[in-house]
Amino acid sequence: MYSEKMHQLGTNRSVIRDLFEYGNQRKAEIGPDKVFDFSIGNPSVPAPQVVTDTLCQMVKESDPMSLHSYTSAQGDAATRQAIADYVNGQHGTDLTGDNFYMTCGAAASLTISLKALYEEGDEFIVFSPFFPEYRVFIEGVGGKLVQVDSRREDFQIDPATFEAAITDKTKAVIVNSPNNPSGVVLTEDCIKSLCAVLEKKQKEYGKEIFLIADEPYRELVYGDVKVPYLMNYYDNTLVCYSYSKSLSLPGDRIGYIAVSNKAKDWKDLYAAICGAGRVLGYVCAPSLFQKLIGKCQGQTADISIYKKNRDILYEALTSYGFRCIAPDGAFYLFMETPEEDATAFGEKAKKHELLLVPADSFGTPGFVRISYCVSTEQIQNSLPAFKALAQEYGL
Amino acid sequence: MYSEKMHQLGTNRSVIRDLFEYGNQRKAEIGPDKVFDFSIGNPSVPAPQVVTDTLCQMVKESDPMSLHSYTSAQGDAATRQAIADYVNGQHGTDLTGDNFYMTCGAAASLTISLKALYEEGDEFIVFSPFFPEYRVFIEGVGGKLVQVDSRREDFQIDPATFEAAITDKTKAVIVNSPNNPSGVVLTEDCIKSLCAVLEKKQKEYGKEIFLIADEPYRELVYGDVKVPYLMNYYDNTLVCYSYSKSLSLPGDRIGYIAVSNKAKDWKDLYAAICGAGRVLGYVCAPSLFQKLIGKCQGQTADISIYKKNRDILYEALTSYGFRCIAPDGAFYLFMETPEEDATAFGEKAKKHELLLVPADSFGTPGFVRISYCVSTEQIQNSLPAFKALAQEYGL
């Protein structure tokens, strides 16, 4: 009568979404300040003032016809050039607007890229822990998800493990750094070794293997950490970007795909991306927000709040005896659970009103994800509950 | 290396888009006022003042966190309820917000609906003339497009022709009224006979056949014409709507799918739509524009301008001897070409700087589509060229 698979995907919501709904119910029962909800990766810092001011000015002063009309399917030409100029300035690339395809955010960037690349039988490698929707998107275009575990000691990627997973069916590899859910940033050494493996395997199989850099958290890094720009390390690279986190505009759905001008036959690949966007029904990315972000290149929301949250939480949790991955970026803390079953641990945490996401669906049993994109006050108020939880486990 | 099919879809742009690009080049050569570009269905009337005022107010006065944050995948609850209230008031339905799923515009509404419904081997019936992207969307989910020609004398649907095309593989039928490209509104009698055929065939095959009402032009009708609301005539109905034309917001990508509360197991169908939106990467419809349209129910751009354009053009062209379908809605005039080959006719029209879209890709050879969503001035200035073209054909 209708697609069973789509029904299943629409009915079985993610663990994250279920926990978030539970949190909302629980808050209604006992008061919102009594529930420590660390479930959702929704920015807690408002969009910067420049966004509000620019939006106001555009709406008030621009001709509504040009503001709200269709852009080309690739996106507004001036916006794409502004992004190219910014990326070139940051990373020393020599891209033009023609390398950029504007999208409705990171999820659209990924589904369009996968649809453009997919041919029958293709496999796509992801590194655990990985954003669970990768499975939905990869299987949605018909592909096979191949999971490669990152090293459990530091969540970097072991080149030999990676190499062993590549087959003649590997079409692309998704790299997500800073990582959701671990907060880990892959080091330059790790990236270099990963790219060396890819180069070797491309030669061995006589085919292209693409690198998809899923980078919505690029700007959310703390301290001196550098996030290598993958196009500078590997030619067959697509960068999937979103302004959801950097400008705190998650609901407005605005991002892009950047196709490296060194990728094999990159103009044909770009054309395939245009075709994929068309067949998925994307017409064009939201025009007002395209034009807005064209004027806000290099701006971010106040990232320092996330750093403060991270520092307080990481220091407290480790002092209570929890083992956490030191996070350099994003707004997630990844914590090893003191019992093997993360779901059971999550249930015990719930008794302390702590909502932590068991990471089994991220491909990493034995961990929980703690989203610290919440108020600093919530973090401080939650510490006694974390301490009590640690004591319950005799840490 | 990448999907050949996507490359082809990204490279072979539509006839409309090609003509539009030609028009831009030609305007650069001889001046924009010398080229009579009737190629594109882009609203020529600005968004109403209420849109600009409401946007300004929302951006200035709302908390940016709530304005720009994710909504649920289905869409903002208050917006969906506002739409339900409006639709119920207009059409006597008893829908709630739970019947509505917010989308990134009409194309997204269609791709999500098709993806939700499609099972292997499914066929989807469309009536010619039809929007050429229907083929891209239907084949994109794996379905087979089955073309049923509407009656050439009035472009209504002949029930017997329709019935003969339905098989046990027919999953859904797309009805687009007011129609792009003909401007024709299907009469209530036509709708009733169409629905009677569907009821009969559902019983015969013991299965559900869905009706997809693609209605971006619902408000663009002139005079006393009524556009029947299909849910009131047939239970298994999905309405795909967009605010692109009614509020002149085509670039901002905002629309919805309404699932009839009388459709078989409608909550399961709604869940399949949620799953389809998820797998296609849609996360949520643009949040600021969701909230905007929630506050602008019942508003439209100044439709009277389109009516004026239609009247001038229809009267002039018929007086020159061209045979046109009397259009009751949308902003298209459908004209029979005085020679069989519409492309050859289009080329001759180009010599007069008239850019008219040959309708072969709409499934109706021997016609051109004339988009009168242009300035009234352009229409008036173009009349001598149309007259000369008619004379060239000895009309």
Amino acid at position A54, single letter: T
SS3 state at A358 = strand
- Answer whether A119 sits within 8 Å of B2, measured CB to CB: yes
In the block, residue with structure tokens 């994003």: A330
* pLDDT by residue, tens only, chain B of 395 residues: 889 999 999 998 788 888 988 998 999 999 999 999 999 889 999 999 999 999 999 999 999 998 999 999 999 999 999 999 999 999 999 999 999 999 999 999 999 999 999 999 999 999 999 999 999 999 999 999 999 999 998 999 999 999 999 999 999 999 999 999 999 999 999 999 999 999 999 999 999 999 999 999 999 999 899 999 999 999 999 999 999 999 999 999 999 999 999 999 999 999 999 999 999 999 999 999 999 999 999 999 999 999 999 999 999 999 999 999 989 999 999 999 999 999 999 999 999 999 999 999 999 999 999 999 999 999 999 999 999 999 999 99
Q: A160 at the B interface (CB within 8 A)? A: no
Give the span between the Cα atoms of A267 and A142, in whole angstroms.
24
Phi and psi of A133, rounded to 5°? -65, -15
Give the span between the Cα atoms of A190 and A195, in whole angstroms.
9
Give the span between the Cα atoms of A251 and B283, in whole angstroms.
9
Number of alpha carbons in the 13 Å side-chain half-sphere of residue B189 = 2
Closest to B274 (Cβ–Cβ): which among A10, A63, A274?
Answer: A10
- Bridge partners (DSSP) of residue A148 are A127
Model's pTM, two decimal places?
0.96
Q: Say what the pLDDT of residue A360 is.
A: 95
Q: B274 at the A interface (CB within 8 A)? A: yes
Give the span between the Cα atoms of B292 and B50, in whole angstroms.
10
ipTM of the complex: 0.96
Taking CA–CA distances from A109, the nearest residue in chain B reads B281
Give the number of other CB atoms < 10 A from CB of residue B203.
Answer: 9
SS3 state at B258 = strand
What is the average per-residue pLDDT within A280-309? 96
Give the number of other CB atoms < 10 A from CB of residue B360.
Answer: 18
Give the span between the Cα atoms of A182 and A326, in whole angstroms.
9
DSSP-derived letter for residue A221 is B
Region of A349 please: left (phi>0), alpha (psi -120 to 50) or beta: alpha
pLDDT higher at B66 or A380: A380
- Answer whether A284 sits within 8 Å of B107, measured CB to CB: no
Q: B268 at the A interface (CB within 8 A)? A: yes
Q: B388 at the A interface (CB within 8 A)? A: no
From chain B, the residues in CB contact with A284 under 8 A are 251, 253
Give the span between the Cα atoms of B75 and B108, in whole angstroms.
14
Compute the nearest-CA separation of B116 from chain A (Å).
Answer: 6
Compute the nearest-CA separation of A321 from chain B (Å).
Answer: 35
Q: B326 at the A interface (CB within 8 A)? A: no
Q: Rounded to 5 degrees, what angle do the CA atoms A52, A57, A63 make?
A: 135
Cα B191 to its chain centre, rounded Å, is: 17
Give the span between the Cα atoms of A156 and A168, in whole angstroms.
24
Q: Say what the pLDDT of residue B1 is.
A: 84
Cβ atoms of residues B291 and B76 within 8 Å: yes
Q: B95 at the A interface (CB within 8 A)? A: no
Count A/B contacts: CB-CB distance under 8 Å: 245
Give the span between the Cα atoms of A96 and A93, in whole angstroms.
9
Q: Rounded to 5 degrees, what angle do the CA atoms A331, A335, A336 make?
A: 160
Give the span between the Cα atoms of B184 and B369, in whole angstroms.
12
SS3 state at B242 = strand
Among A166, A205, A241, A229, smallest CA distance to B1 is for A205
Closest to A6 (Cβ–Cβ): which among B59, B107, B275?
Answer: B275
Give the span between the Cα atoms of A25 and A382, in whole angstroms.
18
What does the pLDDT look like over B147-182, one tens digit per residue? 999 999 899 999 999 999 999 999 999 999 999 999
Indicate if the alpha-carbon torsion angle A220, A221, A223, A224 is positive or negative.
negative
Give the span between the Cα atoms of A104 and B359, in whole angstroms.
31
What does the pLDDT look like over A151-170, one tens digit per residue? 998 999 999 999 999 999 99
Taking CA–CA distances from A210, the nearest residue in chain B reads B1
Among B127, B130, B133, B103, smallest CA distance to B116 is for B103
From chain A, the residues in CB contact with B2 under 8 A are 116-117, 119, 268-269, 272
Taking CA–CA distances from A40, the nearest residue in chain B reads B70
| DSSP secondary structure string for all residues of B293-352 | HHT-TT----THHHHHHHHHHHHHHHHTT--EE---BTTEEEEE-SSS-HHHHHHHHHHT
Spatial neighbors of B18 by CB under 8 A, at least 6 apart, are none
- Answer whether B278 sits within 8 Å of A9, measured CB to CB: yes
- Answer whether A273 sits within 8 Å of B1, measured CB to CB: no
Give the span between the Cα atoms of B249 and A120, in whole angstroms.
38
Closest to A273 (Cβ–Cβ): which among B10, B105, B108?
Answer: B10
Q: Is the pLDDT of residue A13 over 80?
A: no
Spatial neighbors of A88 by CB under 8 A, at least 6 apart, are A94, A95
